[in-house]
A and B are shown apart, each in its own frame.
Chain A
Amino acid sequence: MNRKMVTTVLIYLLISLLGLIMLYPLIWMIFAALKPSSEVLTSASLLPSQFRFDNFAAGWRLVRPYTFGKFFMNTFFLVLSCVVCSLVTSLFTGYAFARVSFRFKSFWFSILFLTIMLPATTTLVSRYVIFSKIGWLNTYLPFIIPTALGVGNGGGFFIYLVAQFIKGIPKELDEAAKIDGCSTLGIIVRIIFPLCKPSLFSVAIFAFMWNWDDFQNQLIYLTRVDLYTVALAMRTTIDATGADNWGAVMAMSLCSVMPAIIMFFCLQNYFVDGVSTSGLKG
């Protein structure tokens, strides 16, 4: 009994300590955002010697002639368009895979699996050439159009996730609606859509995060500063960073991760459900 208690205490100590180590970099980032620039890199102490809230104001104007307000608006526009497109496509395509028994379905389903595993980087160069030929560079179309067609960030994964969820919904529900004369579109919109909301929440969350973090594509498709996303703007700040504005850079770093963190805490349960029901790439 006694030995068991000691083990339990040790385990709690161990996982708490580990949790602290895991969070330390983030806690450090929060305080670093408030430190004077000269202190950011060199000071071992977590707390700033003086709280510099003006780091945020300085950071906001770090990439001239625009402010981070512009970059946040750009990113929200880009990301939310992709979220909406992901939702619509994964709902309709997922319904087809879960409920409609069309010919060669198993063939297309194996294609779906292959596209989930296809490493996006291997087609990076060709996609760039294709988009540059049709004049889509420096627009948000290379992000939105593939997402609307179910092959953007996480595309195949979302379709699979929603299809699996719809398979779990009792078939009697849509059959009853069909007998009552409901069209396929009506069944999807009125019956399936409200019932598969949990899986759509997961899709929305992951679409938001993965598009927000999609630095690589943003880097190659967007070169005009007025179209910059937060990630691109962040990158130019550290290019130009001398020792004098690290405080401002850390302040903007903190701002740039806030949307993901806030969303995580608001929608935590959907997060865990989404990851654990069908696994996750990240």
Chain B
Amino acid sequence: MSRKKIQSRANLIGYVLISPWIIGILCFQIWPIIHSFLMSFTNYNLINIPSFIGLENYTKMFRDDIFYQAVKVTFKYVFIAVPAKIIFALCIALILNMKIKGIGIYRTVYYIPSILGSSIAVAILWKALFVKDGVINALLARIGIEGASWLGNPKYALFTISLLTVWQFGSSMVVFLAGLKQIPSSLYEAASVDGAGKIAKFIHITIPGIMPMMSFNILMQTINAFQMFAAPYTIFNGRGGPINSVMLYVIYLYQHAFKYFNVGYASTLSWTLLVLIAGTALTLHLIEKKFLNFDD
């Protein structure tokens, strides 16, 4: 067979195999993005024939107090929950990596909350635990501390939700553990020969060694955190919690799309969310490039 013939055969096989996936991307990912962009300039509400209203949805959004509240709450949640979860996961991974006996058991125990993921049972559990006259406060009362209204007080409600996120740090931890295992022990030995102390080894070998896992974890967790929905939606009955202090972006988006059927406005919110997430991811990437690019 000629070279050209082999290549065209490879093209044929390749595209036959990936064609379902390409159709999937076009129909269910690229088209919805374009579609929501177009809808964001209309007053579509699922029943009417959408008519073009220019930038009206966008100007409405910039005058919408709850929109600003939702953005504020979401960023607050992202910047509390993600770093806390990552730092926690990293610390535990470092401890478990110190040749701990029975590491398998600890890894399992720490991972179990993660497998429950965003299930409704976990949301119900959190509600039962943290409600005003609930279990946490009963336990606190035993040791003489007067508990707060963890879900009813706007000061604590978002914090309580963040705690749920941090509780599920197991998957990030497993990623870190895998990264730590990949660092060749010869590096540490060589550093010891050169007279490096524990702290120097940590800074110059461990940290650069797990940097890929770190950036992966931060990126994925941030993207996920922006989309937090199931637990707060269930706990606060589809609303934004006490004085909208837990009005996460996607809950607000959901309200407009599926409660008021403002598809046009919800599309505007969707696009803005995409821009916010992409912007944050890009910023993270740039920060990482600028500050963490040591050694190589």
A residues sitting closer than 8 Å to B (CB atoms) are 11-12, 14-15, 18-19, 22-23, 25-26, 28-29, 32, 40-44, 89, 92-93, 95-97, 100-103, 105, 108, 111, 115, 117-130, 132, 146, 148-151, 155, 159, 184, 209-210, 212-213, 215-216, 220, 231, 234-235, 238-239, 246, 249-250, 253-254, 256-257, 260-261, 264, 268, 271-272, 275-277, 279-282
Q: Which residues of A contact B133 (CB under 8 A)?
A: 41-42
Report whether B270 and A249 are in contact in the complex, using a CB–CB cutoff of 8 Å. Answer: no
Contact of A260 among B119, B138, B258 (CB under 8 A): B119
In the bound complex, CA of A117 to CA of B14 (Å): 24
Q: Which residues of A contact B270 (CB under 8 A)?
A: 121-126
- Interchain nearest-CB distance for A178 vs B (Å): 11
Known: A15-B95, A25-B167, A121-B229. 8 other contacts (CB 8 A): A42-B133, A122-B273, A124-B270, A159-B21, A215-B119, A235-B120, A256-B121, A282-B117
In the bound complex, CA of A276 to CA of B134 (Å): 37
Q: List 9 A-B contacts (CB under 8 A).
A: A18-B110, A41-B135, A42-B134, A92-B20, A105-B14, A118-B29, A120-B227, A276-B178, A282-B114
In the bound complex, CA of A15 to CA of B98 (Å): 12
In the bound complex, CA of A281 to CA of B133 (Å): 35
In the bound complex, CA of A119 to CA of B74 (Å): 15
In the bound complex, CA of A242 to CA of B36 (Å): 40
Report whether A22 and B35 are in contact in the complex, using a CB–CB cutoff of 8 Å. Answer: no
In the bound complex, CA of A234 to CA of B31 (Å): 33
Report whether B127 and A238 are in contact in the complex, using a CB–CB cutoff of 8 Å. Answer: yes
Report whether B17 and A92 are in contact in the complex, using a CB–CB cutoff of 8 Å. Answer: yes
A100 and B17 contact, Cβ closer than 8 Å, known pairs A122-B277, A149-B23, A275-B174: yes
- Interchain nearest-CB distance for A102 vs B (Å): 3
B183 within 8 A of A: no
Report whether A26 and B175 are in contact in the complex, using a CB–CB cutoff of 8 Å. Answer: no
Report whether B117 and A122 are in contact in the complex, using a CB–CB cutoff of 8 Å. Answer: no
In the bound complex, CA of A119 to CA of B228 (Å): 11
Which parts of B55-81 form the interface with A (CB within 8 Å)? none
In the bound complex, CA of A212 to CA of B138 (Å): 33
Interface of A is mostly: helix
Contact bitstring B246-257, A, C-beta under 8 A = 1, else 0: 000010010001
Q: Flag the segment in B191-199, B203-211, B216-224, B286-294 that touches A.
A: B216-224
In the bound complex, CA of A93 to CA of B17 (Å): 6
B52 within 8 A of A: no
In the bound complex, CA of A103 to CA of B17 (Å): 13
Contact bitstring B110-143, A, C-beta under 8 A = 1, else 0: 1111111111111011111101011100110110
Report whether A41 and B32 are in contact in the complex, using a CB–CB cutoff of 8 Å. Answer: no
B226 within 8 A of A: yes
Q: Which residues of A contact B258 (CB under 8 A)?
A: 128, 220
Q: Which residues of B contact A101 (CB under 8 A)?
A: 7, 10, 14
Which residue in chain B gives the minimum CB-CB distance to A105? B14
- Interchain nearest-CB distance for A188 vs B (Å): 9
Report whether B273 and A151 are in contact in the complex, using a CB–CB cutoff of 8 Å. Answer: no
Report whether A261 and B230 are in contact in the complex, using a CB–CB cutoff of 8 Å. Answer: no
In the bound complex, CA of A126 to CA of B281 (Å): 23
In the bound complex, CA of A92 to CA of B18 (Å): 8
B residues sitting closer than 8 Å to A (CB atoms) are 7, 10-11, 13-15, 17-18, 20-25, 27-29, 31-33, 35-36, 39, 44, 46, 92, 95-96, 98, 100, 106-122, 124-129, 131, 133-135, 138-139, 141-142, 167-168, 171, 174-175, 177-178, 181, 213, 216-217, 219-220, 223-224, 226-227, 229-230, 233-234, 237, 250, 253, 257-258, 263, 266-267, 270-271, 273-274, 277, 281
Q: Which residues of B contact A220 (CB under 8 A)?
A: 258
Report whether A130 and B119 are in contact in the complex, using a CB–CB cutoff of 8 Å. Answer: no
Report whether A41 and B10 are in contact in the complex, using a CB–CB cutoff of 8 Å. Answer: no
Which residue in chain B gives the minimum CB-CB distance to A88? B20
Q: Which residues of B contact A43 (CB under 8 A)?
A: 135, 138
Report whether A261 and B120 are in contact in the complex, using a CB–CB cutoff of 8 Å. Answer: no
In the bound complex, CA of A121 to CA of B277 (Å): 11
Best-buried of B13, B141, B175 by chain A (most CB within 10 Å) = B13
Contact of B128 among A23, A41, A103 (CB under 8 A): A41
A150 and B128 contact, Cβ closer than 8 Å, known pairs A122-B33, A260-B119: no
In the bound complex, CA of A276 to CA of B173 (Å): 10
Contact of A129 among B106, B116, B139, B263 (CB under 8 A): B263
The 9 closest A-B pairs by CB, nearest first: A102-B14, A149-B24, A276-B178, A44-B138, A126-B32, A96-B17, A123-B32, A253-B121, A151-B24
Q: Which residues of B contact A184 (CB under 8 A)?
A: 13, 17
Report whether A93 and B20 are in contact in the complex, using a CB–CB cutoff of 8 Å. Answer: yes
